[in-house]
Amino acid sequence: MPSERIIMTPACVAEGAAWLAGQEPRFAAALELTGALPLRRRRDGFEPLLSAIVSQQVSVAAADAIWARLRTAKLTGPRKILGATEEELRACGLSRQKIRYARELAAARIRFGELRDAPLEEVIATLVAVPGIGRWTAEIYAMFSLGRADVFAPGDLALQEAVRLLFELDSRPSERILRDMAAAWSPWRAVAARLLWAYYRVAKQREGIR
């Protein structure tokens, strides 16, 4: 089993939120606005990674619409992706680039079961070896599909904007700066991410993550 904490239930999220609120007064204030944080656990495997690729560089609403069309067309499994024509995939809303990424993922034959027990950096390295999967996608997968409690996604624009607002910064922190900031939120960085996304939703009146 991985040495880091695994988020399994809402009680795990609540424990992490209470710890963060005790460490950082701004998190305590944000929790007053957001209320209880969502669990956001997903299944692991091919489908959530494909969903993450769909979500890249489009709005949450657009990603939801594309994913709904893929599901309706029953094009969310690796064999289905490899067997579909480009026209069928484009009809669901995928760009040519994302079609290539989806097919690369389907052909990669990742052993998803082994990732459940692998160290975090091994999980990240395995996933980013697939074209179309960057650090952000790998970190989101580790956070939501594997339940890792101490992973963060500082490249996420909604997290950057939430930090700018909550910490009253002049501009959005860069990925490097936000990664450094998040070190202080260990061992509950994944709960800090949930809190910041929830705060983003309250502050901006729209979702920052699917």
Q: Hey, what are 187's tokens?
A: 């061992």
Q: What's the rounded Cα separation, in Å, for the pair 174 and 61?
A: 25
Q: What's the rounded Cα separation, in Å, for the pair 184 and 177?
A: 12
Q: Which of 89, 121, 105, 114 is nearest to 49 (CA)?
A: 105
Contact 199, 165 (CB under 8 A): yes
The letter for the amino acid at 82 is L
CA distances from residue 176 to 2, 63, 128, 152, 179 in whole angstroms, order as listed: 25, 26, 18, 12, 5
User: Which residues are marked as active site?
Assistant: 156
Structure-token match 């024509």, residue found: 85
